[in-house]
Amino acid sequence: MQNTFSLQPFPNTQVLFNLKITGNIARHENLLTISYTLVGDIQQVDIAPPETPARKHELWQDTCFEFFIGAKNSPGYWEFNLSPAGHWNIYRFDNYRQGMQEETAFTTLPFKVQQGADFFALTLDVDLAKIIPIDQAIEVAITTVIKSTNNDVTYWALTHKGAEPDFHLRESFVLKL
């Protein structure tokens, strides 16, 4: 089953240009497919040009497409970071912002990017079998950090549950797959 989504900027955030972030996510057995489409005044967005993909830290400091997966009824979760340049990382947490470790079950995380004058698209297919049993229900949060060309940062998500932007809040993992 495929789910469509539309991300919202954190409330009271001044978005200085017209942007929309939408996409699709689906889980077929243990293959997770997620695609993001960023449309609007993307010339105002700091989108890193393609590079040779590598595992890198702190990708969220720049424009970064992210999602979080947690096993239902478990405090642990994973954070997936995808840079427009092709860089990536996956972190495993034992609990809310605790025990952060690089997830070593993955050594590559190839994804596709496309860019036009008024859109940027990113698509990832990932086999979750390395981290989650096929019969395990998961809860997902879909998020994006957008950095503008003048270094303003906005935080986008399916829902914002905290007083400050915080993608790690488990009550934000609202999509059930």
Over residues 164-177, the pLDDT tens digits come to: 999 999 999 999 99
Q: Is the pLDDT of residue 157 over 80?
A: yes
- What pLDDT does 14 receive? 72
Average pLDDT on 81-98 reads 98
Query: Which CATH fold topology does 2-176 show?
Result: Immunoglobulin-like (2.60.40)
pLDDT in tens, 10-66: 987 776 678 999 999 999 999 999 999 999 999 999 999 999 999 999 999 999 999
What is the β-pairing status of strands 111-115 and 119-127? antiparallel
- What pLDDT does 117 receive? 92
Give the span between the Cα atoms of 76 and 96, in whole angstroms.
Answer: 8
Average pLDDT on 155-171 reads 96
Average pLDDT on 85-98 reads 98
- What pLDDT does 16 receive? 65
Residue carrying the six token digits 């994804």: 111
CA-wise closest residue to 6 among 85, 92, 19, 59: 19
- What pLDDT does 152 receive? 92
CA-wise closest residue to 67 among 2, 144, 5, 153: 144
Rounded to 5 degrees, what are φ and ψ at 92? -110, 135
Helix (H, G, I), strand (E, B) or coil at 17: coil
Average pLDDT on 72-76 reads 95
Give the span between the Cα atoms of 66 and 79, in whole angstroms.
Answer: 7
pLDDT in tens, 93-146: 999 999 999 999 999 999 999 999 999 999 999 999 999 999 999 999 999 999
Give residue limits of the domains in the chain. 2-176
End-to-end CA distance of the chain: 9
